Amino acid sequence: MEKIKFDFNNMFSASIGSAHGVSQQDIDEILPEARLCAGHLKKIIANPQARVNLGLEWVVLFKQDKKEIAKLQKLGKEIAKKYENVISLGIGGSYLGLKAAQDALCAPYYNEFKPLRKRSPRFYLEGNNMDPDTLQVLLKHLLPKKTFVIIISKSGETTESKAAFALVEAWLKKGVGKRYGRQILAITDPQSGTLREKVKREQKKDALSFRAFPILKGVGGRFSEFNMGLIHLAIAGVNIQELFSGVKEMFDRCSQDDILKNPAYMYALLHTILYRKKAKSLAILMPFSQTLKSTADWYVQLLAESLGKKYHRKIEVDNDGVENWLADEGSLFSKGRTPISAAGTNDLHSIQQNNVEGEDNKVLTFIRVEHFRTDLKIPGKGDLLSGKSFSALMHLAQEATEWALASENRPNCTIIMPRVSAYNWGALLFFFEMATAFEGELLNINAFDQPGVEGYKNYMYYKLGKPGIAQDIANEIKNHPLIKDPKYIL
């Protein structure tokens, strides 16, 4: 299989000058620190208990038992054969990976055209927003008997997916009758949470209803595509073993100790230098492929939730040598590069103006796809474009965008993906995950929690009257209400 390549040339001062590029001295200065971080990460990854405790179990998901994967593919096929539609409910990490996978690995316009779906059902991803309009339309037009429902929530408590599931469950019950639970699959925490409790209750009534898969311990939502996302891949007929081969290949490359040869470590290292020394705080991911736009959206969550943190990490080691990571409230961080998702060539007529001439605070990552699944040739004669292929123009546009930025001394790098296959896509996701984990080490923060997401949830729970809200949180909300001075409402 052809491997992904990484071109970091335009990150260096040789290409873009010393005011904005990384110099050899910058690399030499950071390397001792980076080697310590790499050693620390390696130690955690090698220790199963530490991996689970600290949220790094996702690193080994590609090693899942082949027989279990074969069973999963079989179940996927059965669901695909029986149903015309799959509604999947989930948000954040329980949604973005599915959307990214569907757009990358299923044919474009998959839902619209039956021959493209082959024997697979249409997919509808819901429960990722409180907007009532979309779900309403869906439930009005789909037939419950022809629809399979997957609810994904690690906690089982997330408002968006919980609310949507309540509605979809009632719709299914009404349309299918007593055995509606056989059309539901729940992916949630292996032991705890309200969704797991519901699974247990429903299975007691009917053992064939509410089939369930676990989101494994130590696998956080945004790192869970190779766990919670597998059944979707199986239903869509994607070869999971091929995907895992790609992940394994990238795992091997990203396990190299030599930081300068390790693509994920280099990616994180160069971005960290540019962030610390050149104030490049915006990270724009711009795949030159429409099918990878949602992968860029997935990456936004990965980077934002993993690296945008208030406090540094305090490492405590217990008597057995096991680490615990706590927020060090005495050491304010309040940083983290801000990710933005874009797409070439669409956004060359949008954000690109700002990228080239606007505030000089960005690093762009392009994804260049070498071979598209198909190609189109522009008909006619005599025009500049006549006889040219779309893929050649796409490649030229990507090269031109690199040039336009480099000529303005703006840092950028390119991930060269041979093709958007399960093998390469799996490798791509894993690369970003490892790069993010390593950047967390360099920043000395906990990349595997997301305490900042709790603020809005707490406020909603408080206003909804949820029992058990901690007193300090309730006081904080009571004592700091939103100010709505009419003077400023025009």
* Helix, strand, coil in percent for the chain, rounding step 5: 55, 15, 30
Q: Are 280 and 362 in contact (CB under 8 A)?
A: yes
Which range, of 89-97, 268-276, 353-361, 429-437, touches ligand PA5 by CB under 6 A? 89-97
Q: Closest Cα partner for 65 from 249, 205, 237, 240?
A: 240
220 binds ligand PA5 (CB under 6 A): yes
Identity of the residue, 51 or 117, whose beta carbon is nearer to ligand PA5 in the bound complex: 51
91 binds ligand PA5 (CB under 6 A): yes
- Provide the 3-class DSSP secondary structure of residue 258: coil
Which range, of 25-33, 34-42, 153-161, 426-434, touches ligand PA5 by CB under 6 A? 153-161
Q: What length is written for the chain?
A: 490
218 binds ligand PA5 (CB under 6 A): no
Among 94, 183, 209, 446, binds ligand PA5 (CB under 6 A): 94
Is-catalytic flag, 349? yes
The side-by-side arrangement of strands in the sheet containing 282-288 is 5-7, 412-417, 362-369, 282-288, 338-341
Which range, of 24-32, 60-68, 148-156, 361-369, touches ligand PA5 by CB under 6 A? 148-156
Is-catalytic flag, 178? no
List 57, 126, 169, 305, catalytic entry: 305
**Residues 6 or more apart whose Cβ sits within 8 Å of residue 254:** 262, 263, 264, 265, 430, 431, 434
Among 21, 55, 93, 411, binds ligand PA5 (CB under 6 A): 93
Among 183, 444, 446, 450, binds ligand PA5 (CB under 6 A): 450
**Residues 6 or more apart whose Cβ sits within 8 Å of residue 184:** 148, 149, 150, 151, 169, 172, 209, 210, 211
Read off the tokens for 147.
């629809």
Q: Are 237 and 16 in contact (CB under 8 A)?
A: no
Among 211, 222, 253, 309, binds ligand PA5 (CB under 6 A): 222
CB of 212 to ligand PA5, least distance (A): 14
- Provide the 3-class DSSP secondary structure of residue 136: helix
How many whole angstroms separate alpha carbon 30 and alpha carbon 16? 20
Identity of the residue, 306 or 401, whose beta carbon is nearer to ligand PA5 in the bound complex: 306
Among 158, 291, 295, 414, binds ligand PA5 (CB under 6 A): 158
446 binds ligand PA5 (CB under 6 A): no
305 binds ligand PA5 (CB under 6 A): yes
88 binds ligand PA5 (CB under 6 A): no
Please identify which residue in the block is written with the tokens 């104030």: 279
List 349, 463, 480, 487, catalytic entry: 349
What amino acid positions are annotated as catalytic residues? 305, 349, 457
- Applying CB under 6 A, the residues found at the interface with ligand PA5 are 91-94, 153-155, 158, 161, 220-222, 305, 450, 453
